Amino acid sequence: MKDQKTIVILGAGESGASAARLAQREGYAVFVSDAGPGNERYLAELRETGIEFETMQHTLARIYAAAEVVKSPGIPDTVPMIIELRKRGISVISEIEFAYRFTPRGSTIVGITGSNGKTTTTMLTHHLLDFADVNSLAGGNLGDSFARLLLEREPANVYVLELSSFQLDGMVDFRPNIATVLNITPDHLDRYNYELARYADSKVSIAKNQQLRRTQPGLRAPTRPP
């Protein structure tokens, strides 16, 4: 029977190394696989924490034995290995989805996506929160990955996350408290079979798990002033 705590991380970059270290902290047996040479900074982190990894190859037997796989945003869903993983019923998720499971209780997540302006809006939102003395951190698709924020920083009241369409493609249960789609213009269409609708679907999936906030009993919904 497959060990339910075994996880494979595909990609040894910022998000991959951080996800691996977070998984190790949470008690998983972790193996990192990168088809390229990897980045020495992040490989050093894996060595220092005793996480097993390989570069310049993918050992498929080990990858297919995983209970779950966290893949780099740079790996398309159309790669034969990813298709085979899903055929075998193995969950393939993003680092954001994995880190979401370990968000500090009571913290708020602000998710920001869009074709243009994501970084500026994320940084501005964080700046305004900081100016208002709200304990907040920014990351995701800029700066530190979400997993690294959870690993190396004190818990924040608000996490402001820039999210790319590639990261959103790996979402399952991720539900930010506030989800924002700034705009949608043609971008990265080679990843989406050159279909704008598929790219747009990826962007708006940031809100797929949102829930309607109901008015509290005894309170009337606000009305528009005359």
> How much of the chain, in percent, has pLDDT values that exceed 70?
92
**pLDDT-based confidence at 213, cuts 50/70/90?**
low
Where does the pLDDT of residue 223 fall: very low under 50, low under 70, confident under 90, or very high at 90 and above?
very low
Q: Which residue has the tokens 């993918």?
A: 58
Mean per-residue pLDDT for 137-151? 96
Look at residue 3 in the predicted model and tell me its pLDDT: 46
- Cβ atoms of residues 54 and 32 within 8 Å: yes
**pLDDT for 214:** 54
The predicted model gives 146-160 an average pLDDT of 97
Residue 219 has pLDDT above 60, yes or no: no
Checking if the pLDDT of 190 tops 80, the result is no
Segment 45-58 mean pLDDT = 97
- Find where tokens 């998720």 sit: 93
Binning pLDDT at 50, 70 and 90, where does residue 196 land? confident
What are the C-alpha distances in Å from 13 to residues 17, 23, 72, 153, 185? 6, 15, 8, 19, 28
| Segments making up each domain of the chain, as ranges | 6-93, 100-207
Query: Does residue 71 have an active-site annotation?
Result: no
∠ CA(168), CA(87), CA(76), 5° rounding? 35
Residue 222 has pLDDT above 50, yes or no: no
* Residue 212 confidence (pLDDT): 65
Convert the pLDDT of each residue in 20-33 to its tens digit. Answer: 999 999 999 999 99
Say which CATH topology domain 100-207 has: UDP-N-acetylmuramoyl-L-alanine:D-glutamate ligase (3.40.1190)
Q: Do the two domains 6-93 and 100-207 of this chain adopt the same fold?
A: no
Of residues 127, 135, 183, 188, which has the active-site annotation?
188
Q: What is the pLDDT of residues 121-135, one digit of tens each?
A: 999 999 999 999 999
| Range name among 51-65, 90-104, 169-183, 207-221 with the lowest pLDDT average | 207-221
State pLDDT tens for residues 59-112: 999 999 999 999 998 898 999 999 999 999 999 999 999 999 999 999 999 999
Question: Which is nearest to 107 in space by CA: 181, 186, 211, 177?
Answer: 177
The domain defined by 6-93 carries CATH number 3.40.50.1970: no
Q: Does 157 participate in catalysis according to the annotation?
A: no
